[in-house]
Amino acid sequence: MDDGLTIRDTSLAQGDEDKDDRQRRASGCEIAAREHTGEYPSYLKSLDDSQLISHINSLSQDRHSPLAVPRSSVKGTSTPLPPNKKFVESFKSTSTDPFDDGLDEVIADLASKNTAPVGLDSESSSEDESFGHVGPLHDFGDYGTYFQNKSRKQQQSDQAFVKWDDERRKLQHDTSPRKKIFDGCTIFVNGHTNPSMSEIHRLVILHGGVFLSFLHNKGAATHIVCDRLTPRKRIAFRNYKVVKAKWITDCIAKNQLLNWFDYRLIDDVDYGQKRLGFDKVDEADLDNDDQMIAEQTIAEQTIADQITNSDVNQSTKNQQDEDDVDDVEELENDLPLTQPESEAEEEKQKSQSRIEFFENLNQLRDVKDPNIILDAKHPKFLQHFFANSRLHHLSTWKTDLRTRFLRRIVDSSKLSVSTLLKTQLHEKVIMHVDFDCFFATASCLNHPNLDINKDPIAVTHGGRTSDVASCNYIARNHGISNGMWLSRAQRLCPNLITIDYDFDSYEKFSNLFYNYLISSGKFDSIFPVLIDEALLDATSYCLSNSTESHTLVDSVYDLINEIRSKIYQLTNCSVSIGASKNVLLAKLAIRKAKPNGQFYLHDKVHEFLKLVPVKNLPGIGHSIKEKIMNELKNSSKSEPLVQDLLTFSKQKLMHIFGDKTGTKLFNYARGKDDTSIKIDLDNSESVLGRKSVSVDVNFGIRFDTVTQLETFLIDLSKELYSRLVGLGICGSSLTLRLAKRADNAPVEPEKYLGMGVCDYFNKTSRLGVPTNDWGIIGNELKALYRMLNIPVKELRGIAVTMSKLKDVAMLKKDRQMRLPFSAIGKNDDMDIGKNNDMNISNVVEASPIKAVKHISSTIQAQPATHSIDRLTYDTIDWEVFKEIPEDIKRELKRELSRRGMQNSPIKKSPVKREAANSKVFLQQLLPTQDNGSVKYARVVHPSKSPTKKRKVSKSPLPIKKESSPVKYVTDLSTSYDESVLNELPSSVKAEVLKDLQYKRKVKRMNLALTRESIKNEELTVTNKITQSWVNQQTVFLQPPLFLNQQFSYNEIVAKIKGWIQMTFNQQGPHADDIGFFRNYLAELLYQHNLNRCLNLMNVLQTELDCHSRVISMNKHFTPEEREFKTACINDWKAYLANDLKNVILQYCIKNSIEIDI
C-alpha cells in the first residue's frame, strides 16, 4: 500500500497526460460573473449593513420616524440641507464610496455646486417631495460618471490630476496656496489604512509628494504608510520608515512635514507586531543577534508605554487595547524566561508536566539541526513549514494580490460611455499573461551558469519524495511535469538539475510585473490570477489603435509584443500571452502560445476548440473528466476532447454534472464564457474581500500525546488570529477538519512526513459571536477535536477555517453609534439566526462548573474587545421602504437578500414597527428576564437523544480523556432544543447538557438560597474550587441564572449587559451584586489585569449610555416609566462613580499608575 493509491497522488501521477495541461489558469469560478455591474448596486455593496439601512431609510425623508434617524445621528447634524446635497452628505457620512477613491469632499463640493447653486436652496426645497427617492439616483449617476472621468485621469497620471485639481480650485476661487509638504517624499501605502489608500494617494500628490502603487524595491519609497502590518511585512519593512496614516493627515492639517518618527508604527503594538518581535527572536537566532536585542528593546519600551499610557481612548480603541492586553500579558510572561524560544509555549508550560516541558526544551535546538525531526511537535514547526511551503506562498500571494487590487481597482474606463458603446459593438479582447515555468525561470536567474533554454531544470526541495514545483520546458520534454515527485522526475531525466526555491525573488518579479501592468494604463481591467499570471481586458486600447489598414488583430499583436518585451526587459523572464474574446479562450490560447510565445485566437475558434482535451477547460479537473469518460464509455479513448462534449444535450449535461456545471460545460464546448475579469465588486463591499480564512497543515502532523496536539492547536489558533488581525476581521464560525490515516494506509506514507491516504472528518462550531481571539479559538478547537474523537497518533492533517466573517471596524462602529433599541433586527446580523440569540447569551451563563485550567484560561481567554457580542443595527422602516420606486426597491431587495438580511416587511424576524405598541417594543428591547427557564429555550418534550450523541458514537474510537473538561451527560429526561444546542460553541454544549442536571435539582428558589445551594453543589462536584474563584463566579449570580464557569471576556460582557438590562425591570442594581462585581474587579486587579477592568467599566458605561438614550428618545414611555428608569440609571451611575471606580483608583494609586477614568 503506498501513496500512489491516493487520489491526490493519482492526480499528480497523471503528469504525463497532463503534460500539455499546464495552461489552465485561473478557475472560472474565481472570476464570478457579475450580471449587475451598474453603479448603484456597486454602491449598495460598498455599504456595510447599517449604512445600507440608513441609506434605505434616508430615501424618504418625510416619512422618517423618530426612531429611525440613524443618518442624522450618525452625522451629528440636523441642519436641513437641500435634497441633492443631503444625498451627497449621506455619501460622506458613509465614508465609503463605491470606488474607494476617497475623493468624497471634492465630489461633494462639485455636486453641490453643480446641482444646487448657491441661493437656490430654499426654492429647491419645494421639490423635496418629488426628489425624495428619485433624486438620489440622479445624483448618484452624476457622481458616478464624474468619478469615472476622474479615475481615468488619475490612472493616466497623477500629474494630470494635480493639474485638474488646480483648475478646480481656480474655478472655485480657492486661492489658498497648497504647500508642497511632501516634496521629496515617495510614499507607499501598505494594507488598509485610515484614511484609505486612495485618499492618501490624493493627498500626497496634491502636496507635492510621489505616490507608489507598488513597491518595486523597498528602497524606492522614503516612507511606508501603514496602520497594520502582517508579521511577514513587518519583517520586510523593519528597516524602513513605517509611519501611521495619521502622519499624512496631521502633516496636512499642520501644513508642514512632521517628524515621521513621532508616527512610527511601532507605537501601536498589535499582535502582528508582537509576533514580529518573536519572529525576530527566531530570526536573530538564526542570523543576527543585534537585531534581536534592538527589537526587544523596542518591545519593552512599548510595554512600558502601554502600561503607563493614561490617555488611551477606550471607547474608540478597544480593539487595539485588547490586543495590547494580550501583548502585555504575553510579553510579561515571556520576559522572565531564559529561553527566548519558549514564547509560543507559555500556556502550555503552565499546564504541562515538567517532563514534557523538558522534552520540548530538548527540541528547541536549532531548526537546522539535522538530528531532530522537524514535525508538528516541534515548537517552531509552523513557522518553519510556512516559510518553506510553496503552496502556502502561492496562496498567500494570491490573496494578497486580490486584496491589493480590490483597494485599487484598475478598472477605469469600463463604464465610460464611449467605451461601453465600442465594447458592446465589438467583442472584447482578453489577454492571459503568464510567466513561463515561473519558479524555474526565476530561480534560474540565481544560477548564472545554468541556461534555462538548454539544461533540464527543476525547482524542488530536493528529496526523493519531494515535489517538483516547476520545471523548465527542456525538462518537460522528458515527460516531467509540475507536481511530480523528484524520484520519478529523475527517472525520466537522469541529468535533471535541481535548484532551490527563492520566494523573495518570485515576489520581486511579480511586483515588477504588476507595476508594469498598472502603470502602462492600457487596460480596462487587470485581474490578478496569481503571482505570475494575470488576465487583462485590453479591449478599448486595441480598438482605439486599429484602423482600416491596421486591423484589430495587428493592434492586438502589437500590444502583446510590447508587453512581452517590456516584461522581459524588466525581469529577464519570458512571458507568454494568449488572447481571445473571452477568458476561456484566452486561457486555451496561452497553452498554444507556451513556451515563450503568443497566440491570438480570433478565428476558426470552433475548429480550435474541438480538439482541446476537456481536462484543459478551466474548472474541469480529473474528477469531472472521469465522469465524462464514464459517459463516453463507447470509446476507450484516453483523453476526451471538447468535440465529444458536443454530443451531449444541455439537459443531459445538467443531469450528469448538476445545473451549473452542466451549463458551464455546455457553453464552454461552444466557446462561450461570460466570466467577467473585473475585480468582483462584491468583494470590495468591505475589507473582508473573502468569505473565510483558514490555516491548513497536512504535512509533518505526527503526535504522540493529546497535549502535543493541543499545543499545536493553540499555535494554529495564534496563526489564525494573526491573519484575522492582519485583515481586521472577526469570524463567528469555526471549522476543524482532521485527516486521519485511512485504515488500510501504512503508518508512515511513502512521502516523508506526508499525509498518505486519509479519511476526513469535519466539525463546525458556531461561536455565536464574532471573535478573533486565539484563546477562544484554541479552546474551541480542542473541544472540536474531542468531539471528532480521532486518536492523536492517527492524525495526518489539520485544517482550521474561520468563516462568517465580520469587519472589525464595522463592529466597532456599530457599537459606538447604534442604539440598543434597534436590537430587534439583530438576529440576522449576528448569524445566530432563529431567534435564539437570547438563548445563547443565557445558556452561556448557565454553563456548569469547569474546574479545569482555571488559571490558564484566564490568560488565554483574553478576547479582543471588538469581538462584540452585541451587534445592533437600525432596522428598516418598511413604511419608507414601501414608498421607494420599484426599480430601486428591487436593487435594495437584491442587496438585502444578498446579505441575508430581511428584505420584506413580513418575513422572518418579527420587526413590528407598525404595531407602535410601546410595551411590546419595550419587551423586545429589554426582555424581562425574571423567568430563567425561558431563556434556555428548553423544549420540554419527551426526547430522542440529542444529536451530539450520534456524532460521538460515529467517531472511530471512543476516547475518554480524563483531562477533558467536557463531560457528556447521557441521561436527560428533558432535552434542549437541538437547534439551539447546535448554535452553541461546542465547548459549551456539553456543559449546557450537564447544566440541566443542576437545573433539575435547583428548582427556582429565592435568590439567596439558590446561590447557597449552588455553591454547595460546586464544592461537592469539585474540590478544586478556591474561595476567590467562588467569589469571582458569584459575581453574576444576581441574574436568575448562575454562572459557574471561567468565562471568556465576551461572555462576561454579555453577562454584564444582561445584568444591566435586567436591572431596568427592577429598581436598579442590587447592592450585593455591585459588591460581587467589585470583588470581581478586585480579583482582576489582583492579577494585574487592569486593562480588562477598564474595558469592563467601559462596557458598563457604554451600555448605560445607550439605555439613557433609549429612555430619552422613546416617546412611548409613560412619565412613570421614564422616571423609574432614569432613577435606575442614576443608581447605576452612582455605583459606577463610587464603588467600582474606587477599586480601580486604589489599585492605580498603589501601583503608581496614572489614570484618568
Among positions 201, 408, 766, 1107, the unique one binding DNA when judged by CB under 7 A? 766
In angstroms, rounded to a whole number, what is the distance separating the alpha carbons of residues 1155 and 700? 49
Among 261, 568, 760, 1086, binds DNA (CB under 7 A): 760
The minimum distance between CB 1001 and ligand DCP, in angstroms, equals: 60
Residue closest to 599 by CA, chosen among 431, 428, 426? 431
Tell me which of 92, 152, 317, 392 binds DNA, using CB under 7 A: 392
- Outline where 728-802 has alpha helix (H): 774-788
For DNA, the binding residue among 187, 415, 693, 706 (CB under 7 A) is: 693
Which entry of DNA, ligand DCP, none binds 319, CB below 5 to 8 A by partner kind? none
What separation, in Å, do the N-terminal and C-terminal C-alpha atoms of the chain show?
A: 68
Site string for DNA, 502-541 (x = CB under 7 A): ---------------------------xx-xx--------
Q: Could you tell which of ligand DCP, DNA, none binds residue 605, using a CB distance below 5 to 8 A set by kind?
A: none
CA 733 to chain centre: 12
Shortest reach from residue 1050's CB to DNA, in Å = 19
Other CB atoms within a 10 A radius of the CB of residue 863 amount to 29
Q: Which is nearer to ligand DCP, 45 or 594 (CB)?
A: 594
Which amino acid belongs to residue 576?
S
Nearer to DNA, 144 or 749 (CB): 749
Q: How far is the CB of 175 from ligand DCP (least distance, A)?
A: 55
**Choice between 737 and 870, CB closer to DNA:** 737
Residue 447 Cβ, how far from ligand DCP at the closest point, in Å?
Answer: 16
Q: Considering only residues 50, 115, 412, 460, which one is a binding residue for DNA as defined by CB under 7 A?
A: 460
Whether 229 and 237 have beta carbons less than 8 Å apart is answered as yes
Query: For residues 709-728, which are near DNA according to CB under 7 A?
Result: 723
Alpha-carbon Rg for the chain in angstroms: 31
Residue of the chain from 254, 464, 890, 1001 that contacts DNA (CB under 7 A):
464
Q: Which of 748-774 are b and which e, b meaning 16 or more Cβ less than 10 Å from the residue's Cβ?
A: ebbbebbbbbbeebebebbbbbbbbbb
Q: Are 430 and 535 in contact (CB under 8 A)?
A: yes
**Residue 660 interacting entry, from DNA, ligand DCP, none, C-beta within 5 to 8 Å by type:** DNA
* Binding residues for DNA restricted to 608-627, rule: CB under 7 A: 618-625
Q: Which of residues 407-446 bind DNA (CB under 7 A)?
A: 438
- Per-residue contact track with DNA, 646 to 665, x per CB under 7 A? -----------xxxxxx-x-
Count residues binding DNA (CB under 7 A): 97
Burial of 259 (0-12, 13-18, 19+ CB in 10 A): exposed
762 part of the interface to DNA, by CB under 7 A: yes
Per-residue cell: 1129:
440609571
Q: Quick one: cell of 774? A: 486565539
Residues 355-384 touching DNA, rule: CB under 7 A, are: 370-371, 373-374, 384
Instruction: Using the structure block, give the residue that is written with the C-alpha cell 515527460.
Output: 479
Encoded one letter per residue, x for contact with DNA by CB under 7 A and - for no contact, window 943-982 reads ------------------------------------x---
State the minimum distance, in angstroms, from the CB of residue 516 to ligand DCP.
18
- Which element (helix H / strand E) includes 598? strand 598-600
Question: Among DNA, ligand DCP, none, what does residue 694 contact (CB within 5–8 Å per kind)?
Answer: DNA
Look at strands 795-807 and 692-697 and give their pairing.
antiparallel
Would you say 359 or 502 has its CB closer to ligand DCP?
502
3 state SS for 805-844: EEEHHHHHHHHHHCCHHHHHHHHHHCCCCCCCHHHHHHHH
307 to each of 311, 325, 604, 900, 1049, how far by Cα in Å? 11, 9, 72, 42, 20
Is position 461 an interface residue for DNA (rule: CB under 7 A)?
A: yes
Q: How far apart are CA 735 and CA 803, in angstroms?
A: 8
Q: Among residues 458 and 706, whose Cβ is nearest to ligand DCP?
A: 458
Q: Which three-class secondary structure string do you get for 325-357? A: HHHHHHHHHHCCCCCHHHHHHHHHHHHCCHHHH
Q: Candidates 698, 997, 1028, 1065: give the one binding DNA (CB under 7 A).
A: 698
Smallest distance from DNA to CB 978, Å? 7
- CB of 662 or CB of 848, closer to DNA: 662
Of 474 and 695, CB closest to DNA? 695
Q: How many CB atoms within 10 Å of residue 647?
A: 10
- Out of ligand DCP, DNA, none, what residue 439 binds, judged by CB under 5 to 8 A for its kind, is ligand DCP
Q: Which of residues 862-901 bind DNA (CB under 7 A)?
A: 897, 900
Task: Compute the least distance from the CB of residue 949 to DNA, in Å.
Answer: 13
Which set of grid coordinates corresponds to residue 345?
509555549
Cβ atoms of 322 and 1092 closer than 8 Å: no
Decide: is 395 part of the binding site for DNA (CB under 7 A).
yes
> Is the CB of 437 or the CB of 876 nearer to ligand DCP?
437
Between 488 and 1125, CB nearer to DNA: 488
CB nearer to DNA: pick between 566 and 834: 834
**CA separation, residue 316 to residues 312, 721, 809, 1096, 1101 (Å):** 9, 21, 10, 14, 13
Contact yes or no for 1011/1042 (Cβ under 8 A): yes
Binding string, residues 730-759; x marks residues near DNA by CB under 7 A: -----x-------------x-xxxxxx---
Provide the binding-site residues for ligand DCP, judged by CB under 6 A. 22, 390, 394, 434-439, 469-470, 482-483, 532-533, 594-595
964 binds, among DNA, ligand DCP, none (CB under 5 to 8 A by kind): none
Alpha-carbon span 485 to 498, nearest angstrom: 12
Only segment of 394-402, 444-452, 595-603, 990-998 that touches DNA (CB under 7 A): 394-402
Nearest by Cα to 407 from 684, 602, 111, 666: 684
Please name the residue that has the C-alpha cell 482555571.
854
Residues sharing a CB contact under 8 Å with residue 61, sequence separation 6 or more, in sequence order: 83, 86, 128, 132
541 to 580, contacts with DNA by CB under 7 A? Answer: none
CA atoms of 313 and 1094, how far apart (whole Å): 11
Task: Give 274 or 432: the residue with its C-beta nearer to ligand DCP.
Answer: 432
Helices (H), 172-317: 197-206, 231-236, 245-254, 271-286, 289-308
